[in-house]
Amino acid sequence: MRQALVAGNWKMHGSRAMARALAQGVVSGATELDSVEIVLLPPFVLIPQVAGELADSAVVLGAQNVAAAAEGAYTGEVSAAMLREFGCRYALVGHSERRQLFGETDDLIARRAAAALREDLRPVICVGETQREREAGETEAVIRRQLDEVLKVLPRESVGQVVLAYEPVWAIGTGRTASPEQAQAVHATIRAHLRTACGALADRVRIVYGGSVKPDKAAELFAMADVDGGLIGGASLRADDFLAICQCAARGGG
Ligand code: 13P
């Protein structure tokens, strides 16, 4: 049985005051949700503050990206060791906003994931198709390509540490959540592909869904066999909405 995971990707939102209130709200509501792993992904500069708020709680800290290199002349990047030192356990890699707005390639994303794993930072690797790709019937091919690049560089024994996030680009921030059946179909494809590449380890990998997950949509998504939780954007900026989604995962996910 896979433990459900719900991660809140704050994207570029927040301030010290907002981070304090939001983290405190999540911590106080999380005490009765110990069957779900709850992860907060604030912007880099808020990580130390959120780490302080999460101390002594079961809520876990993560970052929204991680450098591919261990150190060096890489202006603007933050290494996996730095993130670990500040208490992060997870890092997103390959979010579609990074791919689309900042030109991150499959190869770079794979190297970011490998760098994270070398420091015992678990990568949450995002994959997903655009609207055009879906309409052209290319969803499976796109997801396979994104996965294969990562699987090429990751040591096989570390694949169980990885979280995969299926985030259809057309569902992110649009209010157009994938239907439970659409999500399940792609999650099952991802798991089958993982099984071909790394055998039984595929059953340990958590595959979470992201894209306009709201409290009223979460239960039906998390009830699907291969949907092991969620990656939440907008709804993670309100503690009550985020906790309501975590409650759905506690009841039906994993
Ligand atoms: P929304 O939940 O705002 O659609 O964002 C999803 C997302 O991109 C999470 O990483």
**Cβ(232) to ligand 1 under 6 A?**
yes
The C-alpha atoms of residue 215 and residue 235 are separated, in whole angstroms, by 8
Which domains occur in the chain, in start order? 8-32+44-62 (no CATH), 64-82+94-227 (3.20.20.70)
Residue 97: name the closest of 138, 143, 128 by CA: 128
Which one-letter amino acid corresponds to residue 221? L
Residue 226: name the closest of 196, 254, 250 by CA: 254
Closest-lying ligand 1 atom to the alpha carbon of residue 165: 10
- Mean residue pLDDT of the chain comes to 96
pLDDT, one tens digit per residue, over 184-228 is 999 999 999 999 999 999 999 999 999 999 999 999 999 999 999
| pTM above threshold 0.85 | yes
Asked if residue 126 has pLDDT above 80, the reply is yes
The reply to whether 187 belongs to the active site is no
Å from CA of 199 to ligand 1 middle: 30
The reply to whether 149 belongs to the active site is no
Quickly state the pLDDT bin for 254 (edges 50, 70, 90): very low
pLDDT, one tens digit per residue, over 37-64 is 999 999 999 999 999 999 999 999 999 9
C-beta of residue 222 within 8 angstroms of C-beta of residue 248 = yes
Å from CA of 180 to ligand 1 middle: 16
Take atom 2 of ligand 1 and give the residue whose Cα is closest: 233
Which are the contacts of 32, defined by CB distance < 8 A and separation ≥ 6? none
